Amino acid sequence: FVAALALRRSVTKGASSGFMLEMPRYQMPNLRDFALGLWSRAVAFLKRAGTIILLTTVILWALLSFPKAPPGVPQTEYSVAGRIASGLEVVVRPIGFNHDIALALIPAMAAREVAVAAIGTVYAVDDAEGDKGQATIREQLQKRWSLATALAFLAWFVFAPQCISTIAVTRRETNGWKWPLFMVGYLFAVAYVAAGITYWIAVAAGLG
């Protein structure tokens, strides 16, 4: 409500246009339609997982694996992806994000679901170098993340526009890049502030 009010008073000034929406007739849900809806959603997700998520995870693995780090240097920091993440880490560290999260945010621009697979890939590459593949992702998270960082991570993805398909649809519907770029910048700013507030409140409460 606050965001809508602020935008109405600043960016989208002018006369309001009417909006009419025909509501469907209320009735008990049809089990067949319900099952078909669930099936179509499941198929859509599996297609997404088999294309975007798999592809971005493979690309991230390649960028994390090359070039090979010298002895004593973490592969996740020496690699191409690690060097890119080191620059991004400077920006996101004030909101509690570490180098691992900075790495995951890059491929997650394709789709926010990729973030989980990306974090798993990061820890798999790093763990293969250090603990010989014995540590689980849960153990890695407990060792590297505080509760404040985890809460900030959740707050970030509530607002962050990390979905290329959504940006592409916005570009098509608005016939230009003005509103898509505004949307991306605005939502990333909101996500950054929300994650920062969440992190520092959690730290103040002793959760960091």
Full DSSP string of 24-42 = PPP-PPPHHHHHHHHHHHH
Q: What is the pLDDT of residue 35?
A: 94
Strand partners, 111: 163
Q: What is the pLDDT of residue 55?
A: 86
Q: Identify the weakest region by mean pLDDT among 7-11, 100-104, 186-190.
A: 7-11
Q: What is the pLDDT of residue 131?
A: 53
Q: Which of 53, 46, 80 is nearest to 66 (CA)?
A: 80
Q: Over 70: is that where the pLDDT of 117 sits?
A: yes
User: Residue ranges of the domains in the chain?
Assistant: 46-145, 146-208
> What is the mean predicted confidence (pLDDT) over 72-99?
92
> What is the mean predicted confidence (pLDDT) over 155-182?
90
Proportion of the chain above pLDDT 70, given as a percent: 95
CB atoms within 10 A of CB 64: 22
Q: Over 60: is that where the pLDDT of 95 sits?
A: yes
Amino acid letter at 52? I
Q: CA-to-CA distance for 149 and 98, rounded, in angstroms?
A: 8
Q: CA-to-CA distance for 144 and 2, rounded, in angstroms?
A: 35
What's the distance, CA 85 to chain centroid?
15
> What is the mean predicted confidence (pLDDT) over 97-117?
88
**Contact in structure between 191 and 160 (CB atoms under 8 Å):** yes
Consecutive H or E run containing 99: helix 99-105
Q: CA-to-CA distance for 24 and 121, rounded, in angstroms?
A: 45
Give Cα separations from 105 to 12, 57, 101, 108, 156 (angstroms).
Answer: 30, 12, 6, 5, 10
Q: What is the pLDDT of residues 45-61, one digit of tens each?
A: 888 777 888 888 889 88
Q: CA-to-CA distance for 158 and 165, rounded, in angstroms?
A: 17
